[in-house]
């Protein structure tokens, strides 16, 4: 990871995405959006075929593969930035990497599928290890922490250990504290405020605040009106040590990240 902050564009190819309501479910629309985000400055595109919004139901392996693999094969021919696969299923990761993806973004940090780390190691792929409390279906029912930051760090330390044990090299790992994944509003705000504390784990940090419900709760705004809140989240994340931000609004986020980088690194 270089000295500047990188930007990951989110591409959800699901009919029930919380942020776009299935806008990019069709292959051609999804392909066009990926190319558009790359042109706007995205350093990589994160493709997901299963919604992990609070309360969401899991989809079958076959359905997830049908959603993401044809798109990855198509984009691998034309996209000039790396592709990340957003999945916690090792078979989806395996087929995505085989089709041309270069990174795995696992919301469970290897906890939902014990084969995930070996898949990452086999392909020498990048691996994002994200903290979650519970599962997408139940994670927001009543999340509780006795010591928020330390509990997240302990979880991520164990995931790093599991990845190393499976043969994933140190330079391929990245951590994500999991904004919105088993967290109340006050938890998310505290994570952003204390983000620098995660640098002690010795891994680049990814943060995803884009359009999330805590922004809506603080500003009392629906998902389609959370651009300014999302950009504030990007700015604070970069200011406090994020190496990669995961966003829906690429052009605006790239501009914010570049300016904050210029201020912080001047």
Q: What is the pLDDT of residue 214?
A: 97
Q: What is the pLDDT of residue 18?
A: 47
Q: What is the pLDDT of residue 120?
A: 98
Q: Which of 111, 246, 258, 265 is catalytic?
A: 246
Q: Is residue 261 part of a domain?
A: no
Q: Which domain holds residue 74?
A: 6-206
Q: How far, in Å, are 53, 207, 227, 256 from residue 236 at the CA level?
A: 23, 10, 14, 10
- CA–CA dist 63, 222 (Å, integer): 29
Per-position DSSP letters for 146-182, written without gaps between them: SSHHHHHHHHHHHHHHHHHHHT--GGGEEEE--TTSS
Phi-psi region of 47 (alpha: psi -120 to 50; beta: other; left: phi over 0): beta
CATH code, domain carrying 163: 3.20.20.20
Q: What is the pLDDT of residue 24?
A: 58
Going residue by residue through the chain, which has 266 residues, state the pLDDT in tens, using 9 for 90 and above: 468 999 999 999 988 554 455 565 689 999 999 999 999 999 999 999 998 888 888 899 999 999 999 999 999 999 999 999 999 999 999 999 999 999 999 999 999 999 999 999 999 999 999 999 999 989 999 999 999 999 999 999 999 999 999 999 999 999 999 999 999 999 999 999 999 999 999 999 999 999 999 999 999 999 999 999 999 999 999 999 999 999 999 999 999 999 999 999 87
Which two three-digit tokens encode residue 265?
A: 């690194």
- CA–CA dist 105, 102 (Å, integer): 10
Q: Are strands 206-207 and 83-86 parallel, antiparallel or unpaired?
A: unpaired
Q: Which of 111, 153, 212, 226 is catalytic?
A: 212
Q: Is residue 246 among the annotated active site residues?
A: yes
Domains held by the chain: number: 1
Q: What is the pLDDT of residue 90?
A: 98
Q: Is residue 240 part of a domain?
A: no
Q: Is residue 119 part of a domain?
A: yes
Q: Is residue 212 among the annotated active site residues?
A: yes
């Amino acid at each position: 990871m270089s000295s500047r902050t990188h930007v990951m564009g989110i591409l959800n190819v699901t009919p029930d995405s919380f942020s776009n309501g299935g806008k990019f479910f069709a292959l051609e629309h999804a392909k066009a959006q990926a190319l558009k985000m790359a042109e706007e400055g995205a350093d990589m595109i994160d493709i997901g075929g299963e919604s992990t919004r609070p309360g969401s139901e899991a989809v079958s392996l076959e359905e997830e593969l049908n959603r993401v693999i044809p798109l990855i094969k198509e984009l691998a021919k034309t996209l000039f930035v790396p592709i990340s696969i957003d999945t916690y299923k090792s078979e989806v990761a395996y087929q995505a990497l085989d089709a041309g993806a270069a990174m795995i973004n696992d919301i469970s940090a290897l906890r939902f599928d014990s084969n995930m780390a070996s898949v990452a190691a086999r392909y020498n792929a990048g691996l994002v290890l994200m903290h979650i409390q519970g599962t997408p279906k139940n994670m927001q029912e009543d999340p509780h922490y006795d010591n928020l930051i330390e509990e997240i760090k302990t979880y991520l330390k164990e995931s790093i250990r599991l990845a190393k044990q499976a043969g994933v090299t140190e330079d391929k790992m990245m951590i994500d504290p999991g904004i919105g994944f088993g967290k109340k509003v006050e938890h998310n705000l505290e994570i952003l405020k204390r983000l620098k504390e995660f640098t002690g784990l010795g891994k680049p940090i990814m943060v995803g605040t884009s359009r999330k419900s805590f922004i809506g709760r603080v500003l009392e705004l629906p998902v389609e009106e959370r651009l300014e809140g999302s950009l504030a989240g990007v700015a604070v994340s970069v200011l406090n040590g994020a190496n990669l931000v995961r966003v829906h609004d690429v052009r605006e986020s790239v501009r914010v990240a570049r300016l904050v980088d210029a201020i912080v690194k001047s």
